[in-house]
Amino acid sequence: MMQQKRRRLAHEINVVPYIDVMLVLLVIFMITAPLLTQGVEVDLPDAAAETLDYDSENEPVVLSVDAQGNYYLNRGENPQEPVSDEDIHRIVVNILKHKPDTSVVVEGDEQVPYARVMYAMGLLQGAGVKTLGFATESPE
């Protein structure tokens, strides 16, 4: 009797479609990531000042004050929701406890009363902030 040679089927997964899908997802994320902004829309006043560069490890805490005088923090549960004075103090103290050299930047809308920005500075000073800066737009 003649023995038939049986060919073994090679079982392998074709990964080319998975690579295609991953590349498409990568392109989508690369396009949409710059469009996402955190925080609230604030019209900053113009000022001639140097731009400060921050790396991802030393990203500053940003306290925004909108035209109605509401406060927003870029850290915390929801950066789009206004925060109370007590929440500002609690969140900033907690951040400074873990990273004492964290900088804080105040983004005050150009329409907000100056007293409201000064009050925010007092809150931050009470929380123990040592380095404070103001965000402005560069004049054109």
Other CB atoms within 10 Å distance of the CB of residue 70: 16
pLDDT (average), residues 49-72: 75
Contact 73, 85 (CB under 8 A): no
The residue extents of the domains of the chain are 61-134
Return the closest-CA partner of residue 133 out of 43, 51, 66: 51
Residue 47: pLDDT band with limits 50, 70, 90: low
Check: pTM over 0.75? Answer yes or no.
Answer: no
pLDDT (average), residues 94-116: 86
- Identify the CATH number of the domain defined by range 61-134: 3.30.420.270
Instruction: Write out pLDDT tens, residues 73-97.
Output: 887 777 788 889 898 889 889 988 9
Question: What pLDDT shows up at residue 21?
Answer: 95
